[in-house]
Amino acid sequence: DIVMTQTPLSSPVTLGQPASISCRSSQSLVDSDGNTHLSWLQQRPGQPPRLLIYKISNRLSGVPDRFSGSGAGTDFTLKISRVEAEDVGVYYCMQATHYPYTFGQGTKLEIK
């Protein structure tokens, strides 16, 4: 199974400041069609997860443009340009190229 490793596991951030989360996979996430199914999900307290970004850098409709994803191969990053109070929660990377799908451990974003 592919192991997804996130860093940091906790990220205290000042409102209005940037935040960055890294995710590394234990093997390439490029599929036979050349697609890389690396997603980022947000889970707010008491809520189910929701998809923010798919295929490395594609934001879902309605996701603020302060969220951006980047990376290639086995190294990926989620950036929040200016953290807002509503961004508090746990962020997961997920590889959806190979079954079984696997998630990172989660990064808890909190306000300082």
The rounded distance, in Å, linking the Cα atoms of 51 and 91 is 10
Verify binding: residue 2, other proteins, rule CB under 8 A. Answer: no
Verify binding: residue 66, other proteins, rule CB under 8 A. Answer: no
| Burial (Cβ within 10 Å: 0-12, 13-18, ≥19) of residue 1 | exposed
Q: Between 28 and 105, whose beta carbon lies closer to other proteins?
A: 105
- Among positions 16, 33, 34, 61, the unique one binding other proteins when judged by CB under 8 A: 61
The rounded distance, in Å, linking the Cα atoms of 69 and 51 is 12
**For binding to other proteins (CB under 8 A), which residues are involved?**
1, 37, 39, 41, 43, 48-51, 54, 58, 60-61, 90, 92, 94, 96, 99-106
